[in-house]
Structure 1
Amino acid sequence: MMVMSLIRRWFQVSAVGLFVAAVCASAAAAPVKVQVVKTAAGWQMLRGGRPYFIKGAGGDESLAKLAAAGGNSLRTWGADNLNGKLAAAHKLGIAVTIGIWLGHPQDGFNYNSAAQVRQQYQQAKRFVLEYRNNPALLMWGIGNEMENGYDKPQLWKAVEQIAKMIHRLDPNHPTMTVVAEIGGHKVAKINKYCPDIDVIGINSYGGGPSLGERYKKAGGVKPYVITEFGPPGTWEIGANSIGLPDEMTSTQKAAYYAQTYKHSVLGEPGLCLGSYAFAWGWKVEATPTWFGLFLPNGRRLNAVDTLQTLWTGKAPTHLCPAISPVTLLGPNKLKPGTTITAKVAAHEPGGGKVTFHWVLRRDISKIGWTGGLSAPMPPSFTSAITHVHTSGHVSEATMTVPANGGPYRLFCYVYNNHRGAAVANTTFYSDAPVGIDPAPTAKMPVTLYTSRGPDSGAYIPSGWMGNYAAVVYDPGCRTHPRKGRTHCLKVGYNQPSGWGGIVWQNPANNWGRLPGGLNLSAAKTLTFWARAKIPGQTITFGYGATDGDTPYHDTGKDSRSIKLSTHWKQYTFNLAGKDMSRIVSGFFWSAGANNAPFTFYLDGIEYH
C-alpha cells in the first residue's frame, strides 16, 4: 500500500570515477556487523554480536523523539541523500534500514526490459557502495510494494540479483524485500526465486493482528519484519451511509497498534525480528490524521504513548488525552445553510486540563488520495463553525452547512499541557451541487527539486508525456553537478525519434480533473538551473499545462524554448501579473528528438 512512488526510478550508470570514489569513501568507515541467525529457539538478529530486536518506525518526525520513546531503528523507503540522517541516527543509537526503491510496473517500469533492470541494478549498487560501511546501517530494504499488480517471476528475479550483489559487496548487513500484505503466492515466490533475501518485510494494516498466523499458513520460513503497521486503511473498511470511510479516533488507533504488536510482533518469537510503526510524523492520506503518529504542530498522539509502553515496558509520565468518537446530533446529509451540532468527550488520564479545537475541512478520502499518495491539506471552513461550548470533559460545536455541495469532515483536536493530543472526526454531506473549492495557499518557497535536500513534496513528476517509455529520470545523478553540490537531476530521452517530457503535478497524475493545485499567488518568480550534455539542445520549459476546459485547470501558464549550453545557468520566469491562484502543473519540460537521443540536467526548481 503505503509509499508508492509515482516517479519512474530507473537510473543510469554512474561514471567510473565516481564509482571508484564511492568504493574508496566506503572503505574508510567502520561498519557494525549484523547477522540473521537460526538458533534452537528460532530466528534471531544480532548486531555487533548482541541480540537486536527492531523497535522502529518509518517517517520524518524527530529522531530524538523516537529515541526518547524507546525506539532503536528507522526505516527509509529510498537511499538518496541519507548521510546527514544516518549521522544523526548514529549519535542517538538508532540503526537504519536503508530502502532501495525499485520501479513499480503500474508506474511504467518494465521488468521485461533488460536495459531498465540493469539500470536499476546499477543504481542499487551505487547506494550499497556509498553506505555499506556506515555504522548506522542495520539492513537493506530492497523495494517497497513493487509487486502490487505484478507478482511475476521477472520481478522476483530482479530482486534476487540485487540481493545477491549486496551479499557479495556487503557481507556485514542482511537483505530484506518489502511486500504489501501476503495475499496470493508472494511468500512462496520469494522463497522460490530469492534465496539471497534474508528477511521478508510485510506492510500490514487491518490484517496486522493476524499476520503471524497467516504468514505461517502461507509457507513462511524466512524471518519477517512488519515494515509498516497502523490502523486499518480506507481500502480495508466499508463506507458509511454517505459513502465515506469512518476514521478511528486516535484512542482507538492506539489500541489497534497494540493489537498488531502484541499478536504478530511479540507473539511470534523466533519468527518476527521486530517492526516499524507507520507513520513517524504526519501526512495527508485520505484525511490529515489517518496514518500519522503526530500532528503537524509536533504534538504526539495516543499511539506514540502505546509504542513507548510496548518498547520500554513503562508508560510516559503524562499520557495523551483519551477521546470519544465525534457524534453528529442529527442527520449526516443536510441542505446548505442548515445548522447542526456535533459533540465529543475527552479527558487526560492523569486528570490534567485539556482544550478542544474544532476544524471543518473538505473530505478528500474518495478522490484518489490513498494508496500511499500524500495530498495537500484540504481546505478548511473556519467561518462555518459558529459556536463552541465546552463544559468539563465535553465539547459541542455548532456549524452552518457550507453552500458548496459534497462531503465534509469535522475534526476535533484535544490538547493537554504536555505536548500530547487526541483527535477524532465525523462526516456529513452538503446536499447541493458540488462546486470547486479554492486551492490551498502555499507557503513560500515551494521547491520542486533541489540537490540541497528533500523538496517540498507539493508537486510530483508524475505526468510523463509522449513516448514516456523513452524518458530518462535520475534524481541522484552525480555527473558534473553544480559547484558545491553532490548530485543533480538527470533527464532526457533515449530514442532518436519521437518526443517526451515530464509535468510536475499536484496531485500526482492530475491533468486538471482531480481536486488539486496550489495557490501560488505569493510567488514572485519560478527559477531553475539547467545545462545540456551536448551544447545546442533546445528544451521547452514552463508551468501551467492544463487547459481551461478541465474543472481544476491551471489559472496561469507560461513557457519558453531554451537552447541550453553545457554550463550551468539559472533561468527565471517572472510571475508578475500572472493569475497563480490555482497551479496544478508546477513545472514541465518537453522536447523532440532530432535524429538522436538527448540528455540534460536540472537543479533548484523553486517558486520564490
Structure 2
Amino acid sequence: MRILIPLLLPALLATATAEPGPLSMRKNADGAWELVRDGKPYFIRGAGGQRSLDVLVESGGNSVRTWGVDALAEKVDGKQLVQRAKELDLTIAAGLWVGHERHGFNYSDTTQLEKQRKDIRAAVAKWKNEPAIGFWGLGNEMEGPEADGKDDRIWKELEVLAKIIKEEDPSRLVMTVIAGAARPKIEGVRDHCPSIDILGVNAYASAAGAGKAVKEAGWKKPFILTEFGPSGHWEVAKTSWGAPIEPSSRDKAAKYYSTQQLASEDSAGLFVGSYAFLWGQKQECTATWYGMFLQSGEKLPSVDAMSRAWTGKWPANRCPRVETFTSPAKGNTISPGESVAITLDVVDPDKDKVELTWTLASESTDRKSGGDAERAPEEKKLSMDSTGPNQWTFKAPDKPGAYRVFLIARDGRGAASAENIPFQVR
C-alpha cells in the first residue's frame, strides 16, 4: 500500500482538478448523433444571451450562445462571461461574427476577406484556452435573412474560415448558423463546407419543422435550432396600417414549449439541442416581442415554459398569467380623445399580488432586418380608470398616428407578463 499511494496520488489530484473539456460529437448505439462532454452525452438546453444566468441554471439550462467574440469579455454578475459560465458549469457556443453584405461587407473584396480571416484567427487564438467554450459559432445569417442562399462565394469563404479555426484550435467543433431552413442554404453548407461540424438554423413560425427540412436537404451531421421563439413580426397578421399584431404572452410561452418538444421529431438522428431566443431584452418591432425578460429584469412566461420543457416541472415562482386582454380598439382606428375600453383578467398561479403598469408608445418606425439594432420609441405612463371588475378605460391621444398600449403585470418577486394592443388614431 505504501508503494501504491504515491503512484495513485497524481492521478487522483488530476481528476480532482480537471476542468470539463470542449464538446465533441459521436454517433450513439442507435446511429444518432450526440454531443459529448467528458465522455457523457450532452444535449444542449440553451439560450441566446448572457443575462440572468442564475435563472438559466435554475430553469434547467446548460449552455449560452453569443453572436460575437467581444461578448466573452463582457461583465456578467461582475465577472467576464467566460468566468461566470465556468462557475455555473455552462458551456458557451462562442460566436465569431462573419461579415454581411447588407452591412457593407464584400465577398469579392480580397482585402476585406483577408482582414476577416486574420481577425478570426486572432480571436480563436486569444480565447481557445477558456474551458467554458464548448464550440465555435462561425457567423450568423451571413448569407442574409432574405437571401436565396445561392451565393456560393459566402459558403466557400466559410470553409476557409472554418479551416483557420481548426488550425488554431483543433480541439473544438465548428458550427455555422443560417437564417431559416431553405434548401439552397443547407445545400450550400453541405456542398462547400466540409469543415463545418454542426449546422445551426434560426427559425420562428416554422421552427418545429426546421429539423425535417434540414434532413430532407441532405444534411448528415448534427443540427441545432440556434434561435426560436414566438412567430416573427414578419410572419403574423397586420393591421390595415401595417402594424404587426404581437402574440400574447401565453401564446408565446406555448410556442416556446411546443417548439422545444417537437423540434427533434422530424430530425431524428441529427438534433442535438437548441438555443431559445432571447435570454434578455431587446427592441425589435416592440420592446417585448422577443425578449424573455423585461428591461427591468423580471422573467416572462416564456422562461417558465422553457423550464417546464427542460425539467418537466414548473419553477417555484411562476409568472402572472394574463387570461384575457382585449379591446374594441385592437387593430382598429379610433377618434382623437375617444374613450377606449380594455377587458383584463390576470391571475397569479402562486397567488401573489399583481401590480399593473400601463404605458403608451407610438408605433416603432425604426425597423431593421435580421435583428439589427433599432431605436425604441418613447413610452409614456398611461392614466387608466377602473370601471368595474376586469374593466378599464383610457383616453386615446389627441394627435393622429399609430400607437400601442402596453400592459406589464408584475408579481413583485421577479416574474411578470407583458401584453400590448396596436391601434390607430385618425
What TM-score results when the alignment is normalised by the length of structure 2? 0.88
Name the aligned partner's letter for residue 88 of structure 2.
L
Identity of matched residues, %: 36
**1:74 Cα shift?**
0.7
**1:263 Cα shift?**
0.7
Give 1:137-216 correspondences, 5 Å limit: 137-148=133-144, 149=147, 151-216=150-215
**1:354 Cα shift?**
2.1
Give 1:185-584 correspondences, 5 Å limit: 185-265=184-264, 268-330=267-329, 332-364=332-364, 367-382=366-381, 385-389=383-387, 391=389, 394=390, 396-431=391-426
Name the aligned partner's letter for residue 215 of structure 1.
V
Q: Which residue of 2 aligns with 1:39?
A: 28
Counterpart CA distance in 2 for 1:363 and 1:128 is 42
Structure 2 gaps of 5+ residues are: 1-17, 74-79
Tell which deviates more after alignment, 239-248 or 368-377. Answer: 368-377
The answer (yes or no) to whether the contact 2:360–2:380 under 8 Å persists in 1 is yes
Structure 1 residues 293-337: Cα deviation after superposition (integer angstroms, max 9, x where no partner): 001111111110111111122211222121135311357212212
The answer (yes or no) to whether the contact 2:175–2:197 under 8 Å persists in 1 is yes
Structure 1 residues 6-32: Cα deviation after superposition (integer angstroms, max 9, x where no partner): xxxxxxxxxxxxxxxxxxxxxxx9771
Counterpart CA distance in 1 for 2:37 and 2:170 is 13
The answer (yes or no) to whether the contact 1:336–1:430 under 8 Å persists in 2 is yes
The answer to which structure has the higher helix fraction is: 2
Please state whether the residue corresponding to 1:414 is helix, strand or coil.
strand
Matched, 1:56 2:46: yes
**1:82 Cα shift?**
1.8
**1:77 Cα shift?**
0.3
Q: Which residue of 1 aligns with 2:129?
A: 133
The answer (yes or no) to whether the contact 1:31–1:133 under 8 Å persists in 2 is no
Structure 1 residues 555-580: Cα deviation after superposition (integer angstroms, max 9, x where no partner): xxxxxxxxxxxxxxxxxxxxxxxxxx
**1:205 Cα shift?**
0.6
Q: Which residue of 2 aligns with 1:97?
A: 93
Q: Cα RMSD over matched residues?
A: 2.0
Q: Which residue of 1 aligns with 2:8?
A: none
Structure 1 residues 392-439: Cα deviation after superposition (integer angstroms, max 9, x where no partner): xx3x332222122211111111122432111211111011xxxxxxxx
**1:369 Cα shift?**
4.4
Please state whether the residue corresponding to 2:108 is helix, strand or coil.
coil
Q: Relative to 1, partners in 2 of residues 1:360 and 1:235: Cα closer, same or farther, differing over 3 Å?
A: same
Q: Relative to 1, partners in 2 of residues 1:330 and 1:406: Cα closer, same or farther, differing over 3 Å?
A: closer
Please state whether the residue corresponding to 1:211 is helix, strand or coil.
helix
**1:199 Cα shift?**
0.3
**1:390 Cα shift?**
6.5
Tell which deviates more after alignment, 35-44 or 65-74. Answer: 35-44
Counterpart CA distance in 2 for 1:242 and 1:218 is 38
Which entry has the higher C-alpha Rg, 1 or 2?
1
Counterpart CA distance in 1 for 2:380 and 2:127 is 47
The answer (yes or no) to whether the contact 1:325–1:425 under 8 Å persists in 2 is no
Please state whether the residue corresponding to 1:404 is helix, strand or coil.
coil
- Quick one: which of 115, 120, 123 aligns to 2:119? 123
The answer (yes or no) to whether the contact 1:337–1:403 under 8 Å persists in 2 is yes
Q: Relative to 1, partners in 2 of residues 1:136 and 1:248: Cα closer, same or farther, differing over 3 Å?
A: same
The answer (yes or no) to whether the contact 2:82–2:132 under 8 Å persists in 1 is yes
Query: 1 or 2 for the larger relative contact order (CA 8 Å, sep ≥6)?
Result: 2
